[in-house]
Structure 1
């Protein structure tokens, strides 16, 4: 029985009952098991004790919907029942008649096996049978994104709202993926813990558990098994279950800079003139910018972190409407921020918005109860009425929600407005923030056709359909740089592909400084430019390129130009993330899940389908990286490098190792100082020859919600290596402002023959530095384009 604890009273009393497609099994001691199919790849498993009722499906909203097809067929055998989906016959579940434990099979091979369910006081959980060869990943990330590995094998992990104020920015996603090609999502907000074959005194353990409040009420054993077998498919299925990530407007993927460090006691305090002069100066020097990040100083009442209030300061911003017009004319969007501590000073605040027992919480007069619907309405309205209402024509395109992760000192047994305990709701806190500002606010306002971007210091599973997060006040050192590389990947594997961090590090509180020139180059600029959200931000030294050394100004120029030229590739990856849940920054294990090196080398990642990025994240001048099987192009030299090996590189200051797959097509735009200024009527195509290649370009109007209704344009590219031909397909779909004609500049890397033709007409080919360049005139996007190699 594989160590299963068997009691005669536990054996099933009769055949299961099918209710609305779910199967309910009753044990001899009155405990009940319910198995519910959610389509053909997802199975929900719920267990309750004698006298309990199954919680209603909407008890939590982490799962987006429950109206899935429920078409499992049951077969009774001597010792167990079998459940099989007719649409996915490779997946089979057996229920042991004596213990009611489950085993999940794929093609008759055991994938996951329960050992026993258990309840003990306030704790409950499930033991699974461990597999010494199994690896695990996911589960969001810890405070500040500080992770030592994205492989969780051998670890005991909890993903919970912090108890101490200093425990910032947890990504609370109780969903993990296995190297065996499945995932498990724990549908509970109580404090959790996961053991992944961790060594104990007696045996290796694989389980999960939750801890209830002091009264032991409310929690149930409720998890979803999510089948693959490819991890990409597991992630796709998970984000179908909990919701697709909400796509931000394109400008969010441009460079973001803030006024941090230019506050009331600075020699250069920010105001409207400061922003306009700073932006104009940088733009004249050739640096792009898309996103203005306001940190406190826009707010009235002094613009201080915890003394201001939520409205525009009339002295520093005498005409917000005129300023908003200037921002728009310069291709800029802006973020408005709130610190929890200022809620009490802002218009319409009520003391009864607070939780019942805020005494041990810092800024206890601004400790709101997010289960209170009246507070949530106020929370949205304070942004809307003071700036976001389109009738005002004030600035405001995104919302920055700060310090709502610092209420951990609240007592577990404290009851909230919803009637539930803090112990149950603390892990749900960030979901409620996102729901208040997007589902209940933005999406029901006059802004509903404008994409929201809300970023919070902490986040909860399922809230990706509304908002995202950043990783808090990290240190400018190599340890935190390494941690952020891993946290970014874990966030992407947990449904949050649009994760952000303070590139370069926020502040070193011990040494009272921000990133030095070395960290600014390698992290704020190099690694930052290959992260989903590029936000160099923090206290201490300015993060604006022209405020750094001359050498770093050149490094900043290099990576800003590369980021903006690659925007078609980046924005397409963002669309794919929204459509499938596949992250923009992908761990190597997502593409190479059966290769042990893919689980080991987690300080490198795939950037979309074609780029391998390996940031230099230590103090030495060498970098060890793993090149997967196949051949790769060194991005800089364009030389082909053999893969399936580990290599060591000498790294110059500010250098970011980049490789491109053999057989890749990379679409690019001309460099522009804002994504708003990009010329969509000209497209560059970089073709890395050596294998067949395909790629897609996804475009839309960059700002509205029209893409959700199919208002976008897709263009596919195909390169036939053997036939030496490139095909640009006719554009599919349309959107307001889509280009009707487009010129192309094709660059072949690794190709030597210079005779190419279009529709039988020989083309002019330039040879420059090992590349062939072919320029095509403006052509209708509704017509396919075929370029073929011809005889010399």
Structure 2
């Protein structure tokens, strides 16, 4: 939201009161509290009739400092995000004649006494950013204030825009050459400088400024991140209103933000996800290919079985089958009842699908249609969100007369979960938690939550309710969602997919931008609709998208009004699907290890180049390529003629398919057939390649081959639980080989080699390390 009219003036109807000085700085045990008057205090009379801002600095974790700015403190204290990792007693405080400092780990916040207002953040003596003159503002709006009115809620109920007479904004400085990333899954330019971004979940597809997954967290290439601790509407001006600053504003009387130290992007994301929650582990079977019915297509068990059998006949490995909306009867979504006209024997059908070694996912949403029997049941029990007059909130958009489950009511949550347990008992393995963005404002919640704050936060409560049931039924590590909407904390509940894209090369590229932006916002796992959702892709788009989709963390064939089975396009599409599906399954030991790194450290599986190469300026703006895990560089082909341009950073890169070695840094222009894509292995990789290509969940140590690329480096490998011995084969691109015998006895693992020189085994901290030419290669 913009309040100023150029550099000198304010917009009509806007009054801004800025923190002008640090009048006094008071030390707490682990905090600093600063009184910041909105005018410089030159004599005692200046303290009268003068608003002040109270600025409190604390630390929830080493390397993280929070700043809370308040005008009036007497209002209801609204909750921020769930800060799972916050600890008590963090931060060392010093107040002396030079001002005040709060130091937490390597990060120091420094307040300078007097005027002008000056708050800086330093890491190991290096200034990261700061809050200077006119950077903390208390804003009052007259009734006719000409400011940007805020985001449309996409609920389309009376225009629904967050409005307030008062706002607080904070600004942090942008250095020369500083670039900003993140703010959720955004489909425009990856670098956010110059953009106005509204944190407001909306069902807007992938081709606009709206987003399903809005996250008020950004990451700077100067080695820090910023989280605004406000679950509702946050308006960001990223070098737009004030080109030297990032501004963020919220309605009301207070604002809180956290500065998170790095210095690397990985370390920023690690601290951020330590604070807000790490991604949960997902089951190995979820990495395989998902096939869906698509959205509005006609289907029954015979159709589903026909697709599955045809996939098997064509040697196309399939892991999950997904039933989209119309597994339920029309006008009844979501009543969680199989449409008996089409699926008279759901339990038997699900058992038959399991006999085909498939997992099953079904589509749900948090809305209850008026015709569904559950509507009357929920209404009578008081489980639906209500209008202020006590009526159930309803509308006809999406489902006729639909209402919204009130997840702030513990009984409503338990009721909703009880319906899901029935499906799990029938044999459902996973849920696609669609929607959760069209959340109204003119409502009251059971627990009194602010509707403005609940608009974005609702999806977190919805997805948490579903994930809890899956964990309860299937256990930790075997629970997986396929979710569309999210906010801060949503990364704890994977997997998320990109939403409704069109079936074009352009939409394929914008989907990747959204996924990379989400990865830079702390999300570890991500997928997208292979082939695009809206419309039907031509065969070329489909085949190019298959390669991209199978080289993503999760892979799903899905569309709107047409099926996405490969033979619906041409026979080459079948071959391409087979090629890249089997490639992904062979790479499962590598991908599963990358997934474990996401859950343990917060590093995403699909990594923007900026994460792995933060010091390479050529990577700063790259948004058409990525690293899959730490060592595989993928550049999807977004053109009909197969031409692709991409960048290889410094080092030796090896073409995965041909073995050609390329010395970086270098820009490459290549032309690829449908059966290939630029896939390069990083210098120093030890790439674990599995022995199976028919399924994603297998014993990764059984027949494992470790392919060593130039100058081998350490790699953490997730070992199997099998007892006994396994022979693991190590090979280099030039054909040198060795066999390591892994013997597991109880909790102990011992590794021996058939080579005495050059290929060694040594013990490090109780583990066994295979070494190639003296440098660590693979850790068991």
User: Does TM, scored on the shorter chain, surpass 0.5?
Assistant: yes
Change in Cα spacing, 1:71 to 1:9, as seen in structure 2 (3 Å) is closer
Q: Determine the C-alpha separation between the residues in 2 that align with 1:580 and 1:9.
A: 38
2:372 pairs with 1:355:
no
Change in Cα spacing, 1:15 to 1:169, as seen in structure 2 (3 Å) is closer
2:434 pairs with 1:402:
yes
Q: Which one of the candidate residues 274, 297, 304 is aligned to 1:275?
A: 304
Count of aligned residue pairs for this structure pair: 690
Kept after mapping to 2: 8 A contact 1:244/1:465: yes
1:533-548 equivalent positions in 2, closer than 5 A: 533-548=554-569
Deviation, structure 1 residue 402: 2.1
Q: Determine the C-alpha separation between the residues in 2 that align with 1:317 and 1:285.
A: 26
Q: Determine the C-alpha separation between the residues in 1 that align with 2:640 and 2:346.
A: 45
* 1:130 corresponds to: 174
Q: Determine the C-alpha separation between the residues in 2 that align with 1:338 and 1:361.
A: 16
* 2:218 corresponds to: 176
Q: Determine the C-alpha separation between the residues in 2 that align with 1:13 and 1:289.
A: 66
| DSSP-derived class of the 1:452 partner | coil
Q: Determine the C-alpha separation between the residues in 2 that align with 1:286 and 1:54.
A: 61
Deviation, structure 1 residue 656: 1.2
* 1:16 corresponds to: 26
Deviation, structure 1 residue 600: 2.0
Query: Higher mean Cα deviation, 551-560 or 290-299?
Result: 290-299
CA deviation profile, 1:720-770 (whole Å, cap 9, x unmatched): xxxxxxxxxxxxxxx4xx343212233210x3xxxxxxxxxxxxxxxxxxx
Q: Which one of the candidate residues 34, 39, 45 is aligned to 1:25?
A: 34
Query: Higher mean Cα deviation, 654-663 or 602-611?
Result: 654-663
Kept after mapping to 1: 8 A contact 2:22/2:111: no
2:237 pairs with 1:195:
yes
CA deviation profile, 1:213-264 (whole Å, cap 9, x unmatched): xxx4xx521001000111110000000000001111111111000112684x
Kept after mapping to 2: 8 A contact 1:257/1:291: yes
2:474 pairs with 1:438:
no
Deviation, structure 1 residue 558: 0.8
Deviation, structure 1 residue 341: 5.2
Kept after mapping to 1: 8 A contact 2:334/2:367: no
Deviation, structure 1 residue 778: 7.5
| DSSP-derived class of the 2:548 partner | helix
Q: Determine the C-alpha separation between the residues in 2 that align with 1:430 and 1:776.
A: 48
Kept after mapping to 1: 8 A contact 2:285/2:319: yes
2:772 pairs with 1:785:
no
* 1:141 corresponds to: 185
Deviation, structure 1 residue 474: 0.8
Q: Determine the C-alpha separation between the residues in 2 that align with 1:529 and 1:77.
A: 60
Task: Tell me the C-alpha RMSD between the 2 structures.
Answer: 3.0
Deviation, structure 1 residue 433: 1.0
* 1:284 corresponds to: 313
Q: Determine the C-alpha separation between the residues in 1 that align with 2:442 and 2:203.
A: 14
Task: Give TM-score scaled by structure 1 length.
Answer: 0.81
Query: Higher mean Cα deviation, 369-378 or 471-480?
Result: 369-378
1:497-646 equivalent positions in 2, closer than 5 A: 497-508=524-535, 514-523=536-545, 525-646=546-667
1:377-396 equivalent positions in 2, closer than 5 A: 377-384=414-421, 386-388=422-424, 392=425, 394-396=426-428
Kept after mapping to 1: 8 A contact 2:331/2:399: no
Q: Which one of the candidate residues 289, 296, 300 is aligned to 1:255?
A: 289
1:747-786 equivalent positions in 2, closer than 5 A: 747-749=731-733, 751=734, 771-774=735-738, 780=744, 782-786=749-753
Kept after mapping to 1: 8 A contact 2:138/2:168: yes
Kept after mapping to 2: 8 A contact 1:150/1:599: no
Q: Determine the C-alpha separation between the residues in 2 that align with 1:8 and 1:437.
A: 44
Structure 2 spans left out of the alignment, 5+ residues: 1-6, 10-15, 38-50, 141-165, 388-392, 759-780
Q: Determine the C-alpha separation between the residues in 2 that align with 1:678 and 1:739.
A: 11
Change in Cα spacing, 1:313 to 1:517, as seen in structure 2 (3 Å) is same
2:311 pairs with 1:311:
no
1:194-343 equivalent positions in 2, closer than 5 A: 194-198=236-240, 204-212=243-251, 216=252, 220-260=254-294, 263=297, 266=298, 269-271=299-301, 273-299=302-328, 301=329, 304=330, 309-314=335-340, 316-340=342-366, 342-343=368-369
Deviation, structure 1 residue 626: 0.6
Deviation, structure 1 residue 779: 5.1
Kept after mapping to 2: 8 A contact 1:405/1:458: yes
Q: Determine the C-alpha separation between the residues in 2 that align with 1:503 and 1:18.
A: 54
Kept after mapping to 1: 8 A contact 2:57/2:102: no
Q: Determine the C-alpha separation between the residues in 1 that align with 2:19 and 2:308.
A: 73
Q: Determine the C-alpha separation between the residues in 1 that align with 2:511 and 2:263.
A: 28
Q: Determine the C-alpha separation between the residues in 1 that align with 2:514 and 2:88.
A: 32
CA deviation profile, 1:395-438 (whole Å, cap 9, x unmatched): 2111112233234xx3x454333323322221212112122223
Change in Cα spacing, 1:163 to 1:322, as seen in structure 2 (3 Å) is closer
Query: Higher mean Cα deviation, 116-125 or 353-362?
Result: 353-362
| DSSP-derived class of the 1:127 partner | strand
Query: Higher mean Cα deviation, 160-169 or 237-246?
Result: 160-169
| DSSP-derived class of the 1:173 partner | strand
* 2:65 corresponds to: 43
Query: Higher mean Cα deviation, 531-540 or 669-678?
Result: 669-678
Query: Higher mean Cα deviation, 478-487 or 124-133?
Result: 124-133
Change in Cα spacing, 1:126 to 1:680, as seen in structure 2 (3 Å) is same
* 2:146 corresponds to: none
Q: Determine the C-alpha separation between the residues in 2 that align with 1:366 and 1:578.
A: 37
Deviation, structure 1 residue 601: 1.9
| DSSP-derived class of the 2:337 partner | strand
Structure 1 spans left out of the alignment, 5+ residues: 509-513, 700-712, 714-734, 752-770
* 1:60 corresponds to: 80
